[in-house]
Structure 1
Amino acid sequence: MKIATWMTTPHLQHAEIAHDCGFSNIVLDIEHGSFDLGALDMFIGFLKARGIGVHAKVLGPSMEAVQQALDFGADSVIIPHIEGAAHAEAVCACAKYPPLGKRSFAGGRCMGFQRQSDDYFPAENARTRCWPMCETAGALEEIEAILALPTVDGIFLGPSDLSLSRGRPNYHFTEADREDIAQVAAACKAAGKEWVMPGWRADEREFVRGLPLKPVMMVVGPQLGLIRAAFEGLAGALKAEGLR
């Protein structure tokens, strides 16, 4: 199982420190973060130069958002706001070159800034991962049909939005939340496909490790949460020293 950390701002030193501490995969939250196109292009190039796996949670379920992340060199795209199988079919096709999908040709970083041989396109389709998110009640209801799509390599679970979409007041990793997570994992196992889980807490990580199909990657350590935790720890230490 790969372990990734989560970034919402294109901070080079944060990524360097994460990599130096052993994190060789990073999820970029473009949807909720502060990545404009110029920063995204620069940041993905920087991460790839350091040998870091780049997993882009794109701005939204659109062809442009999916293709831009892949063209800049992302190893996988995580597509939010999927409402069901028909929606997933239309959007996930943008992540794969024809004849499998409808991804457009681009001659940038993803192609080494040069023309490639004919076998590049099927090889790139197999190498890059397309992970639509299961974060809506509609996506969960049609999870088997979504996983049956040839353009879908697996599922990225969004437990917080899924809990809200299912009519619960918030995500607290309740029994109902655990049932939803287990349902997604079981569907992926039955389809022979992978899944990814953000495991912010130890009890979440322990739970998913006990499922019949473990996630191919677990995401930990949200960037801004780590910064806040560091400042809270420092503030607590200063208070104990009588300096606050």
Structure 2
Amino acid sequence: MNTSALKRFRETLAGGRAVYGLWVTLESPSVTEMAVALGLDWVVIDAEHGHLDWSEIVAHLRAAVRGDTVVLVRLADLDRGLVKRALDLGADGVVIPWVETEEQLRRAVAFARYPPEGCRGIGAERATGWGECMAEHTAEANDSVLVVPIIETVVAPDEVERMTRVDGVEVFFFGPADFSSNAGFRGQWEGPGVARLLLGLKDVVRASGKHCGVLAASDPNVSERLEQGFRMLGLGIDGSLLLRSLHASLAAVGRDRKIRSGLRIED
């Protein structure tokens, strides 16, 4: 656990400034290493979608060890074993998808904390220096760990105000695409009415003194989200940023085209 990076992350947010990061889905730890070298405030290693396995996840975590970047792991589900494993490998926190209720959020926090505040087991793994710094790590882990829920269903809005009262949660992330799909607008980033609803939920979270995060859809959207009051801002997903650059380069030589469903190659 990178306590100095976590401290800086929190101080930046407390000062009303944004923390900028990258969503990582590709296998190569060089992606995270580049993000750290560029001084990004955070990265999220995505273990919900895609195909990253645990050996690849720990390689990404190791790529950040010499930097001051917070590294979080987005899990596939709210599961005690998954939370424990990600934190044992040295993640600074976890991102929990599809959080809909206050009770789910309280369980997520409990899974991420050692007793008596929670129910996280202690292991002689990377987080504890393979057991050699167990006392030091366990003394600071509960106060340092980040638990970030993603609000991405139409059920969640009724619970958001209660969620903001949960101790141990400082940032709420929003998932516009899944929220839109859940609202009946599958395949749209922000379907009809979704943008307005998410901005209203953002105001509820901010009124509680906590912070909101979201992935930006483009470079101009980063500035737009900042003006709206979002403070944990994702500059993009690694694969999407690569594609954005490739499209621009291909367009410059008259060769640009869209990827087809099923990855078919068609003229």
Normalization by structure 1: what TM-score?
Answer: 0.85
Runs of 4+ in 1 over 6 A off after TM superposition: none
Offset from partner CA, 1:42-85 (integer Å, 9 cap, x none): 22122223443212111221111111111111112110122322
The change in CA–CA distance for 1:36 and 1:174 in structure 2 (over 3 A counts) is closer
Partner residue, 2:243: 228
Partner residue, 1:219: 234
Quick check: 2:32–2:60 contact (8 Å CA) kept in 1? no
Number of residue equivalences:
237
Quick check: 2:102–2:162 contact (8 Å CA) kept in 1? yes
- Structure 2, unmatched stretches of 5+, are 1-17, 256-267
Q: Which amino acid aligns with 2:254?
A: K
1:105 CA displacement = 1.4
The change in CA–CA distance for 1:100 and 1:187 in structure 2 (over 3 A counts) is farther
The change in CA–CA distance for 1:184 and 1:76 in structure 2 (over 3 A counts) is farther
CA distance in 2, matches of 1:184, 1:52: 28
Quick check: 1:97–1:122 contact (8 Å CA) kept in 2? no
Pick the aligned partner of 2:144 from 123, 127, 132: 127
Offset from partner CA, 1:169-197 (integer Å, 9 cap, x none): 44344672232222222222232222221
SS of the aligned residue for 2:22 comes to: strand
SS of the aligned residue for 1:207 comes to: helix
- Structure 1, unmatched stretches of 5+, are none
Q: Bigger shift: 119-128 or 148-157?
A: 119-128
Find out whether 1:60 has 2:39 as its counterpart.
no
CA distance in 2, matches of 1:172, 1:40: 27
Partner residue, 2:179: 162
Partner residue, 1:69: 86
1:128 CA displacement = 1.4
Partner residue, 1:116: 134
Alignment of 1:40-189 (within 5 A): 40-113=57-130, 114-117=132-135, 120-121=137-138, 123-173=140-190, 176-189=193-206
- Identity over aligned residues, as a percent? 22
Quick check: 1:100–1:151 contact (8 Å CA) kept in 2? no
1:92 CA displacement = 3.2
SS of the aligned residue for 2:43 comes to: strand
Offset from partner CA, 1:122-166 (integer Å, 9 cap, x none): 532221110111011122221112222224333111111112212
Find out whether 1:39 has 2:65 as its counterpart.
no
Normalization by structure 2: what TM-score?
Answer: 0.78
CA distance in 2, matches of 1:176, 1:207: 18
Q: Bigger shift: 202-211 or 57-66?
A: 202-211
Pick the aligned partner of 1:238 from 253, 259, 265: 253
